[in-house]
Structure 1
Amino acid sequence: MRMQFGVDEDDAFHERAGQLLSGFAGWLDENELVAEPTSAELLLQYKWLAADGDLADWPLEQVETFLDGWCPRVMTEHRLPLRLVPLTVAVFLEYLDECGLLTAQSPRPSQIRRLCTAYADDYDELESGPVHPVLAEFDTPPDPVRIPGPAQRAESAAQAPIVRDARALAQWCGAKGRQLTKTGNLRLADAKHLATELDTDDLDAPRYARLGRADRLTNLTWVLETAVGAGAVRREDGRLVADERFAGLDDTSAHEDLVLAARDAGALTVSLPGRRRADDGYDLDDGLLEGLLDEDTDLGDIDLDETALDETDDKPVEGDAEQLAIEVLARELAAAGDGAHPSEIVEDLLDDDTGDDSEFPEPADDATPAFLALLRHPDDGMAFDDLVALLDLVLGWNAEFTLAEGAPHWARLLTARLERLGLVRWQDTTMVHDDLLRQEHRSGGRVTLTPGGVACALLVLTAEGLGYPSRPDPAVAQVTEIVDLAGEVPPDEWRRDIDTWHAAQPDPDEAVAAFVTRALAPDQPLVVVLTATSVAAERFGADVVDRLLREHLDGPHRAQVARRLVARGLLDPLTVEPELLLRASVDVLAVTVDTIGTDEWPTLFAREFPPETVDVFDALWRLDHPRLGEVLAEIGGFHPDKRVAKAARKALVRWQSRTGGS
């Protein structure tokens, strides 16, 4: 049975590995053993790709290399479980030995097991250790991001380059429109004029030296298609004409339409998993690659199929395919080293095609993780290098395409597009010269969402079926939106939002009444009831709120209303049934247990049940309350007064006897 494979024997290796793993899984079930087949698969991959390819011979130094560096790097990069790796290696090699598949020179399974056991603690630490720093913050829910107000969004939209582009295109079309080629492209002279006017493409760049089609101007092309998708201009009877509806839109609405159009047109997706992608986000055309197979081809003078440059061709090449072919070939030649011929590299690229059945991503797959990350930092943004790392980790850009600096290349393109769409500011960058492509590009700096970018990022995420917590501009927020922020944002920020909201209300007294009513709504969680009524008294005046609370004495939260009015001396406790006040006390302590650290419990428990109330526990255990048992247990363990703590423990025993402990 064959057990040794070269790195170029993909099919044979995968067939044999599949047989071994299938047999291993069955052997585990038969012997009722615990292991992780994925770890065994990685072990075989390591042996084939990084070692000698002999699946029957396992020197201890190779097992150690796998456990010490190769496996942790792969597993942590892809966030795979690590804890069972050492055990799986030992068990899998025992399986090979039992099947008679280990060579006589291979160490005995007992030796391998001792080595693997020594790594068990290390892998336990790796399993529980931190993830990559740029992914670590995603382990916690994000704070709601504030939606910018109308004025901020309007100002931001007016400054968005894409809005100016779309309106300039419409104005350029004029009353009669502009003639298009029969394929629907701009005429070359018009395209060159627009590229200069809109500052989309550097016509002096070497890649445009032999410009033969308008749609080779990649930035102008996606700006045009975005404008068409948004309805700023449209193709009609062979002409490009302006649309009156779009002309009547305000800047904010126009901006939102353009961003959604960019999403639908794929301008927010600049690479496709499993497919070759152009720098402008379009597919790499195999016909052009085949045109590079001329044996006399030099990198500086690539012989292309001239029919691809014919502007009247009925089947236009999408995007700047010629430039893509040149850049792909240049980078692959650089990676291959001296002596490689362009035709050999092109043949490799063609052989590596995954076919036309590859799964295409959603319209904003590349931008989605960027939006999710940047919305966590709406004020200060992210370092560009951190954004590059995030996109590479989430999208696997370096693994998708063997370009030098693959992830930075894609991230630069995406960030530049987001900037042109008016969604981000990319500031404090430096210019870096690319000797291979003979051009300069931006790098470094910080990327920050604009006000319009915050609103449109939320819009795009919604279109992608993803929710993101948000909060409105307090000056235009509804009372429900303000009250329901309790516990969702830091307390100081919430108080500032309340003050801004209240100051913007045309009738401040009516606004306070609405605030209290919402705080005491039937569906309101108890923590919001307690927090909102307390903060309302603090911000709007205790006397004002107390007067409003009287109107809710018969409402769904009457226990908390009565408790506050009694504490303030505004309600005679003898007029309130004692059970109602006890219920309110248990409510308060239940919220305390849920939201306050244990170090503060003794003080808060003593405030709610001071020593003189010890006799209350003789009756408290009879109260019908879903949290009573839990509250009594915590009072008995944390109350600073020994008599009260003892009374609580005694009441807990009685409650358990009455209810069976539930």
Structure 2
Amino acid sequence: MPDSSPLPPVRLHSEAELARDALSTPLLSRAALLARWAGPDTRVDAGGGLVEEQLPAAAEALGLTGDDAVAHASEAWRVAVDTGLVEISDGDGDDGDDDSDGTVTQGEDLALLAGGSPHDVLGIWLAALDTVLADAAVPDLDGVLDAVGGEDGAGDLDLSGLDWDPEAEAEFLDGVLGNLYLLTVTEEGPGDAPVPLPALAASMIVPSDMGEPTNDVLEQVSDAMMRLDDQFRLLEPVGLVEYQPVDEALMADADEEPAAPVDDTDVSRYGMVRLTPLGRYGLRARLLEAGHEAPAVGELADKGADALLDGTATFPQAAAQAEIDQWVRRRAPLDAARDLLTAARGQDTAAPLRRLHCQQALSLVGAEAEPALREVLDDPELGGLARVWLTENGCADVPAPSEDLIFWLTIDTIAAQLAAEGNSEELRALVEGLAAQHGGFFTAAWRVEHPATADVLEAMGRLHPDKRIAKEARKAAFKARSQHGS
């Protein structure tokens, strides 16, 4: 999974929509059908699985046919047991049936699928997802048996003799899914578009600082692709992903793995995977459980203005705007404006970005908010943005700002942009425009009583392409630090 830094916020469907998606997934719907099909005469083994003789009947109950019918029925039964849709009590040994190791009854959670809340349904689906992810991290049993010399050795499996580390395999799959989640929620990523399987495999294998991958690395990527191909085929029925498998025609020999694609035209033949809305919900739940910061758009809508402005500080621009929009729409314009302005005050390093997001939020409130903006016209931290809002909304009698206020607002705005975007092209253009429009900008700017004055002037020195002007900015930054003793 990703490191401990906060992840970009994910946009989730409503729980009602997600619960409908969960109920319609092939695996959970089959598990529910088997739970209703089962009864006191259903026989299970010591592990709670259906005995072999019962599997054809279970497959028939599910309407499954073909070579994989029994395997799908067995998997659905395992999910029914693990999610509490069926319960197995210990056998008392008095019924004369040596083949059965317990009595099967419908579990209490089965009723929740039909009559529970969407949250209840999603809780059951998450338990099903855990089961499938655990299965996906286990190698194909036939391959394991071959490795130890056939089925006769199945009772004495020694994992140390196999090329398989259960913990490492689970961590690898978690890492792949974490990367897929990150690609999905990052604004610059593919979003809802499918991700090529080779790219996903390479994200786990190829070092970020490697130029041309070596043959050994390419072989590792190819091997990872084939493992992921098997795993995503297992994960699709539970609704985590939509998956287009690797084209079997690419396999020249059944024992060979396909090489990585040589161009973009054939990349889809090497597998394409997309995280579903339900998958985004499921992976976020797992990330939260693992202790990661995985915010969701909308979770700040019921909190105070201070939580909104602080919480959106690390959000990408579009996500911050969406979060702010939901917050504003739940409040009366005048109350929202007053709360936002109060939360925007401060001299700390995060304050400029709070004020920037406050401006974004204020742009969404209506004319009813005008009294709140007029109340802060004399506030040294808020008077500038108040005048901007009043002017943009066509309000009359807006007092002209003093030159000191103009400079303070300029420093505050650049400080916010630096915090939000770093040395972006947009900020570079803003810096160039300021220097061009105001020839004496740096002469006056170093005197501005703002905590970020020196940092802003240093940034302007880095960003401006004209060496003479950049030098002026650095000199002004030095004067600002000398003035403030920092």
TM-score band (shorter)?
Answer: 0.5 to 0.7
- The Cα shift of 1:417 comes to 1.7
Q: Are 1:461 and 2:287 an aligned pair?
A: yes
Residue 360 of structure 2 is matched in structure 1 by 535
How has the CA–CA distance of structure 1 residues 158 and 588 changed in structure 2, closer, same or farther, with 3 Å as cutoff? same
* Amino acid corresponding to residue 234 of structure 1 in structure 2: E
How has the CA–CA distance of structure 1 residues 418 and 655 changed in structure 2, closer, same or farther, with 3 Å as cutoff? closer
Kept after mapping to 2: 8 A contact 1:148/1:472: no
* Whole-angstrom distance in 2 between the partners of 1:524 and 1:635: 18
* Whole-angstrom distance in 2 between the partners of 1:434 and 1:652: 63
Residue 490 of structure 1 is matched in structure 2 by 317
Q: Are 1:236 and 2:89 an aligned pair?
A: yes
1:526 aligned residue (344, 351, 359): 351
* Amino acid corresponding to residue 152 of structure 1 in structure 2: E
Q: Are 1:187 and 2:40 an aligned pair?
A: no
Q: Are 1:472 and 2:472 an aligned pair?
A: no
How has the CA–CA distance of structure 1 residues 166 and 549 changed in structure 2, closer, same or farther, with 3 Å as cutoff? farther
Residue correspondence of structure 1 range 268-283 to structure 2 within 5 A: 269-271=136-138, 277-279=139-141
* Whole-angstrom distance in 2 between the partners of 1:449 and 1:638: 39
* Amino acid corresponding to residue 241 of structure 2 in structure 1: V
Q: 1:258-289, CA deviations, whole angstroms, 9 ceiling, x for partnerless residues?
A: 43454367535424xxxxx3258xx9358x93
- The Cα shift of 1:573 comes to 6.2
* Whole-angstrom distance in 1 between the partners of 2:471 and 2:125: 68
1:170 aligned residue (28, 35, 38): 35
* Whole-angstrom distance in 1 between the partners of 2:127 and 2:66: 28
Residue 121 of structure 2 is matched in structure 1 by 254
1:157 aligned residue (7, 14, 22): 22
How has the CA–CA distance of structure 1 residues 658 and 429 changed in structure 2, closer, same or farther, with 3 Å as cutoff? closer
* Whole-angstrom distance in 2 between the partners of 1:544 and 1:604: 33
Residue 226 of structure 1 is matched in structure 2 by 79
* Whole-angstrom distance in 1 between the partners of 2:254 and 2:472: 81
Q: 1:100-143, CA deviations, whole angstroms, 9 ceiling, x for partnerless residues?
A: xxxxxxxxxxxxxxxxxxxxxxxxxxxxxxxxxxxxx99x9964
How has the CA–CA distance of structure 1 residues 255 and 366 changed in structure 2, closer, same or farther, with 3 Å as cutoff? farther
Kept after mapping to 1: 8 A contact 2:352/2:415: no
* Whole-angstrom distance in 1 between the partners of 2:482 and 2:75: 74
* Amino acid corresponding to residue 257 of structure 1 in structure 2: I
Residue 563 of structure 1 is matched in structure 2 by 384
Kept after mapping to 2: 8 A contact 1:154/1:251: yes
* Whole-angstrom distance in 2 between the partners of 1:436 and 1:582: 71
- The Cα shift of 1:456 comes to 0.2
* Whole-angstrom distance in 2 between the partners of 1:646 and 1:284: 68
* Amino acid corresponding to residue 189 of structure 1 in structure 2: E
* Amino acid corresponding to residue 259 of structure 1 in structure 2: L
- The Cα shift of 1:449 comes to 1.6
Residue 547 of structure 1 is matched in structure 2 by 371
* Amino acid corresponding to residue 561 of structure 1 in structure 2: L
Residue 194 of structure 2 is matched in structure 1 by 381
How has the CA–CA distance of structure 1 residues 358 and 472 changed in structure 2, closer, same or farther, with 3 Å as cutoff? same
- The Cα shift of 1:603 comes to 1.4
* Amino acid corresponding to residue 144 of structure 2 in structure 1: L
Residue 148 of structure 2 is matched in structure 1 by 289
Please give the TM-score of this superposition, normalised by the length of structure 2: 0.67
Task: Indicate the SS of the match to 2:144.
Answer: coil
Q: 1:416-466, CA deviations, whole angstroms, 9 ceiling, x for partnerless residues?
A: 22111111112487565989879xxx974532122111100111233344x
* Amino acid corresponding to residue 488 of structure 1 in structure 2: F
Residue 431 of structure 2 is matched in structure 1 by 601
* Whole-angstrom distance in 2 between the partners of 1:409 and 1:198: 30
* Whole-angstrom distance in 1 between the partners of 2:346 and 2:196: 43
Task: Indicate the SS of the match to 1:228.
Answer: helix
- The Cα shift of 1:146 comes to 1.5
Task: Indicate the SS of the match to 1:603.
Answer: helix
- The Cα shift of 1:243 comes to 0.9
Residue 424 of structure 1 is matched in structure 2 by 241
Q: 1:341-376, CA deviations, whole angstroms, 9 ceiling, x for partnerless residues?
A: xxxxxxxxx9xx735998631784243233223221
Kept after mapping to 2: 8 A contact 1:474/1:501: no
Task: Indicate the SS of the match to 1:374.
Answer: helix
How has the CA–CA distance of structure 1 residues 407 and 517 changed in structure 2, closer, same or farther, with 3 Å as cutoff? same
Kept after mapping to 1: 8 A contact 2:246/2:269: yes
Q: 1:224-247, CA deviations, whole angstroms, 9 ceiling, x for partnerless residues?
A: 333322222222121222211342
- The number of residues matched between the two structures is 428
Kept after mapping to 2: 8 A contact 1:228/1:234: yes
Residue correspondence of structure 1 range 614-629 to structure 2 within 5 A: 616=444, 621=447, 625-629=450-454
* Whole-angstrom distance in 2 between the partners of 1:600 and 1:171: 66
Kept after mapping to 2: 8 A contact 1:162/1:258: no
Please give the TM-score of this superposition, normalised by the length of structure 1: 0.51
How has the CA–CA distance of structure 1 residues 147 and 160 changed in structure 2, closer, same or farther, with 3 Å as cutoff? same
* Whole-angstrom distance in 1 between the partners of 2:324 and 2:202: 38
Kept after mapping to 2: 8 A contact 1:149/1:473: no
* Structure number, greater radius of gyration: 1
Kept after mapping to 2: 8 A contact 1:227/1:258: no
What percent identity do the matched residue pairs reach? 22
Task: Indicate the SS of the match to 1:146.
Answer: coil
Residue 99 of structure 2 is matched in structure 1 by none
Task: Indicate the SS of the match to 1:145.
Answer: coil
Task: Indicate the SS of the match to 2:87.
Answer: strand
* Whole-angstrom distance in 1 between the partners of 2:43 and 2:14: 41
Task: Indicate the SS of the match to 1:365.
Answer: helix
Task: Indicate the SS of the match to 2:364.
Answer: helix
Q: Are 1:370 and 2:176 an aligned pair?
A: yes
* Whole-angstrom distance in 2 between the partners of 1:651 and 1:475: 40
* Amino acid corresponding to residue 276 of structure 2 in structure 1: T
Residue 67 of structure 1 is matched in structure 2 by none
How has the CA–CA distance of structure 1 residues 243 and 515 changed in structure 2, closer, same or farther, with 3 Å as cutoff? farther
Q: Are 1:451 and 2:277 an aligned pair?
A: yes
* Whole-angstrom distance in 2 between the partners of 1:195 and 1:645: 75
Please say which of residues 451-460 and 153-162 is displaced more in the overlay: 153-162
Cα root mean square deviation, aligned: 5.2
Q: 1:540-593, CA deviations, whole angstroms, 9 ceiling, x for partnerless residues?
A: 24x544432455679xxx43312234565645868xxx9777654433343455
Kept after mapping to 1: 8 A contact 2:85/2:110: yes
Q: 1:54-84, CA deviations, whole angstroms, 9 ceiling, x for partnerless residues?
A: xxxxxxxxxxxxxxxxxxxxxxxxxxxxxxx
Task: Indicate the SS of the match to 1:560.
Answer: coil
Note the residue ranges of structure 1 that are not aligned, 5 or more in a row: 1-136, 209-216, 272-276, 293-303, 309-314, 319-349
* Amino acid corresponding to residue 383 of structure 1 in structure 2: P
Kept after mapping to 2: 8 A contact 1:559/1:581: no
Residue 63 of structure 1 is matched in structure 2 by none
Task: Indicate the SS of the match to 2:23.
Answer: helix
Kept after mapping to 2: 8 A contact 1:229/1:261: yes
How has the CA–CA distance of structure 1 residues 253 and 551 changed in structure 2, closer, same or farther, with 3 Å as cutoff? farther
* Whole-angstrom distance in 1 between the partners of 2:121 and 2:371: 48
Kept after mapping to 2: 8 A contact 1:144/1:488: yes
